Structure 1
Amino acid sequence: MFVRVERGESRHHLHRKVLNIYWTVLMISIVAMLIAWIIKLQTNADDIPQFLVTSVAIPTVVQLIVIIVIEIVHYYKIEWPWITILSGTLIASALMIANKTIHIQYIFLLSMLVSLFYFSFKQLYIAFVVNMAAFTAIYMMYSEVRESMSSFEISAFVFIMIGMLFILRSVIDRGKEILADHTRMVKKEQELLVKQVLMDRMLKVDALTNLYNHKTFHEYLDMLTEQSNRNSMPLQLAILDIDNFKSINDTFGHTAGDAILTKVAGVLSETFVQNEIAARYGGEEFAVIFPGVAATEAYMLLEQAREKIEQLEHEELDGRKVTVSIGLSMHQQGQSSAQLFTDADSLLYNAKRSGKNKTVI
């Protein structure tokens, strides 16, 4: 059985390399056959037709069929490495049968070398056994092969094949060790990267609300204020404060207060999802930076957030509503970030003094 699967590009490229090897072997064998044919023409022209059929046409056709089958396997990304490996045995057998009196038996190393690409002992052993079985069958079936090879040559072939088996096994074993070391290194690098990301997040984000913290807020505000002064980019700053938050902590406890902070932060995260930068400034105060946004648009977004917060249900407060007051200031050309913040903070206190639960711009 074989299964068509979606594989990684690395395996797909691997099969392409094996196919390129087989195409190279085919081209080399065709050139060698043509050279042999030319030599035949000069020496003995009587057996030319038989030579063209048995030594040129048949092995070439067999190799083409084998390679085309592997090309189909490669095209459809079929997970069946055995056909790629054992195709080398078929190609070697076809070439040896076509050239019985020429000592090319070491072509059987081809499929063993191909099995090296897959880093599998099992595939290497099977390639070795199949190659030895194919060579033995050809040796027994064709007298020309037996007559052309001496006992020494047969023994040398067997010992070289066994020696290559152990050499290739050592190569695979070493490759697996290198791969395991590489995997461990990659895993450690990934763990370090995750830790670095978490540490960076901890340095930038408030743990309770998941909004940017006080330090990160000021970094962004300084940078955007400088950019606004340089490029005349619209920039708005809003400061929000939860109304009567001290009484919530005093009456219902700090656990309830933390729950309220989390809910308010959730509304801010849901409302400001474009280029806005929302942060917990400290305590019950939040800040939102609006880069590249007109004051009217920022005001509308803040009003949406304020109304959503007012509509929240709070079991922690026995159904009591929570509201926020907001000061929204528009950056003026040449104004520093500190001046912009002071203006927004003053507007916030105007909202507090004039009745709370409102946005003052």
Structure 2
Amino acid sequence: MPTLTQLAIIGTNEILYYRSMEKPEWAVLSGTLIAAALMIGNQGLHLEYILVLPILVSLFFFRKRLLYLAFISNLLIFFFIYNGFPEFRTIMTPYDLCTFFAIMLGILYIALQIIAQGKQMIADFMRMVTSEQDLVVKNAVMERLAKIDALTDLYNHKTMHEYLEQLIEQSNNNAMPLQLAIMDIDNFKSVNDTYGHAVGDVVLSRVAQAVKDALSQNEIIARYGGEEFVVIFPGKTLFEAYQEMEQTRELICSIAHDEMKGNRISVSIGVAEHVRGKSSSTLFEEADACLYYAKKHGKNQTVAKQHARKSSGSSV
């Protein structure tokens, strides 16, 4: 039959068990009380080493404070049982006492070393994870810098060609419509000559933003070089690409530039359609021919491939 002391310990332990859900200190004390109940219920046996249990529990949390709490509560419980229960005291010889304290101190030292080594391993692991994360971020930044034009935040010349080759291959294999537009700012040299290159850079950046605002995310927009921009239209017809570039041209023409005393700029645009079996250079030549036609015939207009072959008529 359990003694009143055991019942009190078990009841207290139940309370501490539920409290341990909130604080790990209660889990350690709960382990100490379990060990105490077993020692009191079996006073004729050497069960003092069951007090190692709360120390093991404290190791799960890797906190020295909890380890010291377990060690001190163990000593208090041991002295309470040793002084309060004669039957337990009779089986503990001086040698047993010395051995018990030596072993408990040894376990305390080993547990401290385990916590220290564990914390060091965790710290090393976190440094490794952080280092890998930094490397991933740096690689992403470097990859972006390699693909993006710094001034306009658009794809650069090299990246645009890479995407174009991939899309031409996809267009050839899947009969996907593919259009290419080349856009050039009209009289941009006079902007640099009149207002300076710093203002020219502002205008380039603003035009790039206008192009992004006018087009959808499905289009690939790149700064081709200087004041020229390229737009790739995957999955759209020539007429759809023409309409979108016309809307882009009108938006750019509507912008008043404070740096240029409120003056506006215009752009000329050439649009061409990829024909299955032809190369990217051929597509570029056809779009460039349309751009040349737009420049030669008054600028500030969008010209599609068919129009470049005619002296008059509609643009598409």
Please report the TM-score for the alignment, with normalisation by the length of structure 1: 0.77
TM-superposed deviation, 1:239: 1.0
The amino acid of 2:54's aligned partner reads S
Distance 2:193 2:29 in 1: 80
Equivalent position of 1:120 in the other structure: 63
TM-superposed deviation, 1:190: 2.9
Q: Per the alignment, in what secondary structure is the counterpart of residue 195 of structure 1?
A: helix
Distance 1:165 1:318 in 2: 80
TM-superposed deviation, 1:336: 1.5
Distance 2:166 2:30 in 1: 64
1:233 counterpart (147, 161, 176): 176
Instruction: Give the superposed CA RMSD.
Output: 2.4
Equivalent position of 1:333 in the other structure: 276
User: Against the structure 1 CA distance between its residues 240 and 300, is the aligned structure 2 distance closer, same or farther, given a 3 Å change threshold?
Assistant: same
Q: Per the alignment, in what secondary structure is the counterpart of residue 252 of structure 2?
A: helix
TM-superposed deviation, 1:69: 4.8
Distance 1:185 1:153 in 2: 47
Equivalent position of 1:324 in the other structure: 267
Fraction of identical pairs, as percent? 49
Q: More deviation in 295-304 or 196-205?
A: 295-304
Equivalent position of 2:150 in the other structure: 207
Q: More deviation in 144-153 or 336-345?
A: 144-153
2:162 equivalent to 1:219: yes
Equivalent position of 1:145 in the other structure: 88
Equivalent position of 1:255 in the other structure: 198
TM-superposed deviation, 1:251: 1.0
TM-superposed deviation, 1:308: 2.1
User: Against the structure 1 CA distance between its residues 253 and 123, is the aligned structure 2 distance closer, same or farther, given a 3 Å change threshold?
Assistant: same
Equivalent position of 2:108 in the other structure: 165
CA contact (8 A) 1:59 1:95 kept: no
Equivalent position of 1:46 in the other structure: none
Equivalent position of 2:42 in the other structure: 99
TM-superposed deviation, 1:185: 2.8
TM-superposed deviation, 1:97: 2.4
2:300 equivalent to 1:357: yes
Distance 1:152 1:189 in 2: 55
User: Against the structure 1 CA distance between its residues 358 and 95, is the aligned structure 2 distance closer, same or farther, given a 3 Å change threshold?
Assistant: farther
Distance 1:175 1:246 in 2: 66
TM-superposed deviation, 1:268: 2.2
Equivalent position of 2:222 in the other structure: 279
Superimposed CA distance per residue, residues 193-223 of structure 1 (whole angstroms, 9 cap, x where no aligned partner): 3322222222111111111110111011011
Q: More deviation in 242-251 or 141-150?
A: 141-150
Distance 2:289 2:221 in 1: 19
Q: Per the alignment, in what secondary structure is the counterpart of residue 287 of structure 2?
A: helix
CA contact (8 A) 2:214 2:251 kept: no
User: Against the structure 1 CA distance between its residues 94 and 270, is the aligned structure 2 distance closer, same or farther, given a 3 Å change threshold?
Assistant: farther
Distance 1:184 1:109 in 2: 33
Gaps of 5+ in 1: 1-49
Alignment length (residue pairs): 304
Superimposed CA distance per residue, residues 148-169 of structure 1 (whole angstroms, 9 cap, x where no aligned partner): 3222222211111111111111
The amino acid of 2:263's aligned partner reads R
2:27 equivalent to 1:84: yes
Please report the TM-score for the alignment, with normalisation by the length of structure 2: 0.87
2:231 equivalent to 1:288: yes
Q: More deviation in 344-353 or 265-274?
A: 265-274
User: Against the structure 1 CA distance between its residues 152 and 290, is the aligned structure 2 distance closer, same or farther, given a 3 Å change threshold?
Assistant: same
The amino acid of 1:98's aligned partner reads G
Equivalent position of 1:267 in the other structure: 210
The amino acid of 2:266's aligned partner reads T
Superimposed CA distance per residue, residues 127-147 of structure 1 (whole angstroms, 9 cap, x where no aligned partner): 211121122222222223212
Distance 1:102 1:66 in 2: 26
TM-superposed deviation, 1:231: 0.9
The amino acid of 1:100's aligned partner reads Q
2:123 equivalent to 1:192: no
Write the mapping of 1:43-82 to structure 2, written as runs, cut at 5 A. Answer: 50=1, 66-70=16-20, 73=21, 78=22, 80-82=23-25
